[in-house]
Structure 1
Amino acid sequence: MLPAVGRIVTPDGVVNGTLIVEGDRFEGVLEREGAPTGWVLPGFVDVHCHGGGGFSLANGDPDSARGAAAFHAAKGTTTLVASLVSSTHEFLLGATRALRPLVADGTLAGVHYEGPYISAAKCGAHVVEVLRDPDIAELTELIEAGRLDDGRGAVKMVTVAPELDGALAAIEFLDQRGVVPAIGHTNASYEQTAAGIDAGAQAATHLFNAMRAFNHREPGPIPALLDDERIFSEIVADPVHLHPGTMRFAFDTSLPAWTLLVSDAMDAAGLADGTYMLGRHEVEVLDGVATVAGTDVIAGSTITLLDAFRNAVRLAGQSVEAASQMASATPAELLGLHEVGAIETGKFADAVVLDDDLNLVSVMRRGAWLAL
C-alpha cells in the first residue's frame, strides 16, 4: 500500500504526497506535508519478455501467457509484451492468433517477433534452421493475424537484421504499418545499420548483445545505433548480459529518454536453478544464468524489470527518476502505449511502491492492489 507520504515520480518531477485514483485511472497527486518514506513509481513496461515464474510467453499458449503476465505484474511490470523467438511461419501465425485475445482484454500489450529475420552469425539462442530473409508476404499475414476487432494491432515490434536480403524493404513496410522495426541479432556493418535506420528502424534489440562487436576501424552497429536520436536502445540491465560499466556508458550516452530497460526474461525468472525450455532449445540455469544446454550461449535472463531497475540504480549509478523513466515512460513511448508509463491524470492507475532501499512494498494495476 501507499506510504502516508511518499516520493511520487511524475513527468514533472518528484512530488511528496499521495496518489488520487478514480476507478482504473489516475486523477492526480495530492501534495502533502511530512517526511516522505519510500518511492511511488509508474508501473513498469516490459517490451521484451519471453516468460517468468515457470510460465512461457514464447510458446503461444494463452494460459501460460496469463501466468507469465500475473507473475511479472506481481513484481511491478504492469504492462507486458510477449516476445516470440524465431520459428516457422505457421507457428508464429498460430501463436499470434492465440495471444490476440489477451491483447484485446489488456492482459498483454502486444506481441514482439524476435526473429526469424535475423543473422545466423549472431543468432544467440535462436534455432538456425528456421532463420530466413524477411518476407513481406509473411509479415502481412502476421500483422493481419494480430488485428483486433477495434482495429488496433497486436503486433507491436519485429526484430530484423538489416544486412539480410529484403531487410530494408521489410523495415520500411513495418514502419509504414505502425509496427516498430528493431535492429538486432545482427552482423551488420556501420553503413548497413545506418541504412536500416534510414529505412525506418526505431529501436535496438538488447543493444550490445547478439551484435557485431565494436572495433575502432570496423565500428559495426553499436555506435550507429547509440548515436542516432531516431533509435531507442533496449538494455538488459543484469551483470550477465552487460558489465556495469557498459550499462553506465549506454545510459549516459543514449540518455533515459532514448533508453529502455527490458528483462529478456525466460520461464525461469523467479525460480530455482534447473532445466527449462526457450522455444525449441533446452536451457540450463545455474546460479541464475540461463544458457543453451551444453553451451555458454546466453538464453535470455532470469531477472524481472524490477531487478533491471534496481541494477540501473545500484550497479550503473542512475538516479531513481532516470531508472524509472527507462523502465516505464520510454518503453511506453516507443510502442505508442499512451495510457501507461507515467503517473499522470487520465492514464491507467499502474504504480509500484518501493521502500527507501528499493524493496518492493506493493503494486497497483488498473487501480487495484495486487496480491504479492
Structure 2
Amino acid sequence: GNSTSRYVGIWYNNLPIQTVVWVANRDSPINDTSGILSIDRNGNLVLNHNLSTIPIWSTNVSLQQYQRNGTSVIAQLTDIANLVIVLKTTKNVIWESFDYPTDTFLPYQRLGFDRKTNQSWFLQSWKTNDDPGKGAFTLTFSTIGKPQFFMYNNDLPWWRGGPWIGSILAGVPSVKRERATFNVSFVEDDNNVALTYNIFYKSVITRIVVQESGFFQTLTWDNQKNQWNQFFSEPVNQCDSYGICGSNSNCDPLNFKDFKCTCLPGFEPKFPLDWYDSGDGSGGCVRKKGASVCGNGEGFIKVVSLKVPDTSVAVAKGGLSLEECKKECLRNCSCTAYVVADVSNGESGCLAWHGDLMDIQKLTDQGQDLYLRVNKVELGNYDIPS
C-alpha cells in the first residue's frame, strides 16, 4: 500500500504484485527506519524500535524449560509461509505464525479453536487497504452449541457459514463445487475444532482473505494475466445478512419481489404491520396462536433445500438414523426441528434444535432438508408424510 509505516510481514516472493499474507506488528507500526528484528536472550523473536528495551512486538513464548538445558533456537520462514521458532537440537516447533493469522488463511493453516487451551485461530480484516491494524471483521468458529463458521462485524453476527456437515460447510455450498482444486478437511474432537485445506496442484497459488469491506474471498493467482482471480466470495446476496428475516422464517434470494422473507409453515409474523406494510422482516415469526405442538397429534413436515438454522441452540446426536431422530425430537416438546448431521456418506446422525430457528435461507445448490415440528392442523395441510 501507500503507507509510510513499517511492519514485519510475510508476502509472496515471486509475484509482481506485493501481496502480504501475515503481519507481526499489525497494531504497532514503526514510523521511521529504525526497526530491529532479533532473537533475544530468552529465545523470543522480538521487534524493537531503535534499541529501546521494551519490544513493540514479541513472540512471547515461555522458554524457561528449554533455557535450563542451554538450548538455542532459530527462526525459519518455511515454504508454506509459516514463520517458526524451532529448537536447534530437536527441531521442535515452539512458536509459529500459523497460530496467529492476520487476515489471510493459507493452505495447511487452520481456523478454529483448541478446547484445552481456549486458543482461537481466526482471521481479522485489515483496517484499510494501507493499514494492517485490526479491522472490523473477524472470521472464526463459534463455540456455542454445535460449532459453526461465523463472520462478525465488530461483535455483531454479519454472515454465517454454518456447521460442517460431512463434506462442506452448510452455508458455503461453493466449496463443494471447487473440490477438484481444494481438499477441505474438518476435525471436531475433545481437543480441537479445526478447519484446514490444501491444494491438489502445487503450482496453484491460493489464499482466503477477509477483506476490510466484510467479504470473505478465495483468490487464486493467474499467471497469464498476472492478477488475482476470485474463486468465490461470501456474502453474496441480501439473504446472506445474518438474521435479515428474524427467527422462524425463510429468506429466498430468488424471490425477485422486494420482500424475500416468508414465515415457516405453522408460523406467522410477530409484527404484522412491519412485515406486510414496511417490508421489514427482522422481527421474525412466532408460532400461530393456539397451535399446540406438545402431545396433541403434532408431527414434522419437510422444508427442502435450506441453509440450516443457527446451530448455537442445536444439539448433535451422532449415530442416530433419521427415524430415530424423529422419535427423539417428538418425545421432547422443546425440540423444534432436526436435520441430517452428516451428508457425506450415507447420511448419518442428526442435529436437533431446541428453540427459535434463526438465519434460514433457501439454497439453490447443496441445501439440506429441515424437518420442522408443526401442529396437527398444519400437518393436515401437507401431503408430505410426517
TM-score (norm: length of structure 1): 0.22
Q: Which one scores higher on RCO, CA 8 angstroms, separation ≥ 6?
A: 1
- Structure with bigger strand share is 2
TM-score (norm: length of structure 2): 0.22
- Structure with bigger helix share is 1
